[in-house]
A and B are shown apart, each in its own frame.
Chain A
Amino acid sequence: MLAFQSAEFVQQIVSGLATGSIFASLALALVLIYRSTNVVNFAQGEMAMFTTYVAWALMDRGLSYWPAFVLTLLIAFAGGATLERTIIRPFERKPPLAIVIVTIGLLITFNGAAGWIWGAEVKPFDSPFPNTTWEIGDVAISSQDVGVFCVCIVTVLALWAFFNLTSLGLAMRATAINPTASRLVGVRVGWMLALGWGLAAVLGAVAGMMAAPTVFLDPNMMLVVLIYAFAAAVLGGIDSPVGAVVGGLTLGVVLNLIGRYVEFIGPELRLPTALLILLAVLLIRPQGLFGHAVVRRV
């Protein structure tokens, strides 16, 4: 009896990590843009949804999964960077509220455009992972969960390597910290911002394509995921990339466990629970788990 329970507990954690890694990817995309422009990109979820449709359209035209996946990431990168250069850039020096309104406008535009181009009916989306489960002792782990987790984590690690091991990544971090000083050492700040949007769009595309096989493809598929991603980003600290990832994984696991073991919550109250966590963090520890008040001396 006890063995059975602990096996199920482990299964819940594993599948929580899989959904959590999707939250983490999207949360990281939010953090990336927030750090470089101090703006919360409300369109992040819809950008992810739109690129997932692009992946679907590519596969619909006969491309197999992984080529379509890679091509979608490239399209997402170019699209994100172009968006920054053309639509966000004119608002760079405007108050943050103006850019927030613009990103909400983008949210509505992408949502409408996806429905207009591909129709509003729900579409199935292929998963690249076999529909099998692995038995490890009493624990059954679905290869779908493991695959989603691995793809998201590999993306995150690749991004970490880019930011920490390349001088372009260093320049992007420097730009987020002090744009003027960055220009004075020769960094083309405008291009760094475009690069940031491009990378955020790539993360979103990964999140969208990993979520689509389970939530199915429709124009509203990412609305709820975006709210979870917000909760994850706030939980981890909106200015902390590590926080976004830890926050996303934690949220995925906690929500799964609560949904399973706390009787009165169940699946219906998962979203309100996430919002409750978001509120609690904002009240008790507004900087989040990993966001830090920078130590400054003058």
Chain B
Amino acid sequence: MALLELRDVRARYGAIAALHGVSLTVEQGQVVALLGANGAGKTTTLRAVSGLVRRYGEIRFDSRSLLRCGPESAARRGIAHVPEGRGIFDELSVWDNLRMGAYASISRRELKRESDRVLGYFPWMRDRLRQQSGTLSGGEQQMLALARAMVSRPRLLMLDEPSLGLAPLVVQELFRIVALLNKEEELTVLVVEQNAELALAASDYAYVLEVGHVAVEGTSDELRAHEGVRKSYLGY
């Protein structure tokens, strides 16, 4: 069943159109990758889903329209968006960041249980709960952003360039955890990634965006074998 469905979605920043009719589908339980060059509209697609940018067309989440939802309501309906640059609250402690993840959707009593569940995926975080999150390393901040998103028990996780600026080993660990969450919690994931190699290895299905529309789509295996994708994005 389609959890998220975009039909002919358009969006613009002032006079500049960023999306010219994007259509894509994310099935329940899938990991879907969004590939493309800089400025192709990957980030804008995520922003259109969570309502951070004005958009037109059709966006359905769990077969209900999202078009009238701002980001606040999208969060309440089960969409967790980890933005580019992670969006952690750097002056707050690690624990307060996790509390904020629970702000909209779960009660104080559930917070204990949910944070315990999430910390199971990030054992190192348990000893660092009181640390100011701005003093974590880049990789740890990205993990925290992911953990915060997971506390709310989202139905859809949207990750924007999680690998940006991180060491290869850290990136591997990050995608290992995403895969684990996908498997153990049947979490549906929509991930934007510049690193096509990585994204295709981690996903079931992928879309390639070019100047604001979908140029190629297919299962990740198909795209890896696709000549155009190989030449332009994988470099061989």
Indicate whether A182 reaches chain B with its CB closer than 8 angstroms: yes
Bound-complex Cα distance A167 to B108 (A): 9
Shortest Cβ distance from B51 into A: residue: A183
Knowing A167-B103, A187-B104, A297-B134, the reply to whether A177 touches B92 (Cβ < 8 A) is yes
Contacts of B76 in A (CB 8 A): 186
Q: A294 near B91 (CB under 8 angstroms)?
A: yes
In the assembled complex, the Cα of A167 lies from the Cα of B92 at a distance in Å of 13
- In this assembly, does A38 line the interface, its C-beta being within 8 Å of a C-beta of chain B? no
Q: How long is the Cα–Cα vector from A173 to B91 in the complex, in angstroms?
A: 9
Q: Do B50 and A186 touch across chains, with their CB atoms under 8 A apart?
A: no
Q: Flag whether B136 is at the interface (Cβ < 8 A).
A: yes
Q: Which chain A residues (142-189) contact chain B, with CB distance < 8 Å?
A: 167, 170-171, 173-174, 177-178, 180-189
Residue interface bits B68-90, CB-to-A below 8 A is 1, else 0: 00111101100011010001111
Q: Is the interface of B mostly helix, strand, loop or mixed?
A: mixed
- Are B71 and A171 within 8 A (Cβ)? no
Question: Inside 8 A of A170's CB, which chain B residues have their CB?
Answer: 92, 96, 99-100, 103
> Is B165 in contact with chain A by the CB < 8 A criterion?
yes
Chain A residues near B71 (CB-CB < 8 A): 183-184, 186
Taking the complex as formed, is A298 at the interface, i.e. its CB lies under 8 A from any CB of chain B? yes
Count: A-B pairs, CB below 8 Å: 86
Instruction: Say yes or no: A185 contacts B100, CB within 8 Å.
Output: yes
- A174 touching B100 by the CB < 8 A rule? yes
Does A295 sit at the interface, judged by CB under 8 A? yes
Contact A180:B103 (CB < 8 A) given known A297-B138, A298-B165 = no
B87 and A298 contacting across the interface, CB-CB below 8 Å:
no
Interface size classification for chain B? 35 or more
- Residue in contact with B50 in the complex, picked from A184, A294, A297, CB distance below 8 Å: A184
Shortest C-beta distance, B102 to chain A (Å), equals: 8
Instruction: Provide the residues of chain A in CB contact with B38, threshold 8 Å.
Output: none
Tell whether B52 is near chain A: CB-to-CB under 8 Å.
yes
The reply to whether A177 and B103 form a contact with Cβ atoms under 8 Å apart is no
Q: Is the CB of A183 within 8 A of B52?
A: yes
Question: Complex Cα distance A187/B76, Å?
Answer: 10
B88 touches A181 (CB 8 A): yes
B148 is an interface residue with CB less than 8 A from chain A: yes
B28 contacts A by Cβ under 8 Å:
no
Nearest-neighbor residue (CB-CB) of B141 within chain A: A297
What bracket does the count of chain A residues touching chain B fall in?
Answer: 20 to 34
- Please name all residues of chain B whose beta carbon is closer than 8 Å to the beta carbon of A183 when the two chains form the complex: 52, 70-72, 75
Residues of B within 8 A of A297 (CB): 134-138, 141
Q: Measured between alpha carbons, how far is A186 from B102 in the docked complex, in Å?
A: 9
Docked Cα-Cα span, A259 to B6, in Å, equals: 70
Partner of A295, one of B105, B132, B165: B132
When distances are taken between beta carbons in the complex, the residues of chain B under 8 Å from A173 are 89, 91-92, 96
| A185 to B144 Cα, complex, angstroms | 14
Q: How far is the CB of A92 from chain B (nearest CB, A)?
A: 14
Q: Chain B: which residue is nearest A292 at the CB level?
A: B91
CA distance A167 to B111 in the complex (A): 12
Instruction: Verify if B188 is at the interface (C-beta below 8 Å from A).
Output: no
Known A177-B89, A187-B104; further 17 A-B contacts with Cβ < 8 A: A170-B99, A177-B90, A177-B92, A178-B87, A178-B88, A180-B87, A181-B88, A182-B89, A183-B52, A183-B71, A183-B75, A184-B50, A184-B71, A188-B72, A295-B134, A296-B134, A298-B138
Which B residues lie at the A interface, using CB under 8 A? 50, 52, 70-73, 75-76, 80-81, 83, 87-92, 96, 99-101, 103-105, 108, 132, 134-138, 141, 148, 152, 165
Interchain residue pairs with CB less than 8 A apart (21): A170-B99, A173-B92, A173-B96, A174-B92, A177-B91, A181-B88, A184-B50, A184-B83, A184-B87, A185-B100, A185-B152, A186-B71, A186-B72, A186-B103, A186-B152, A187-B104, A294-B90, A295-B132, A296-B90, A296-B134, A298-B165
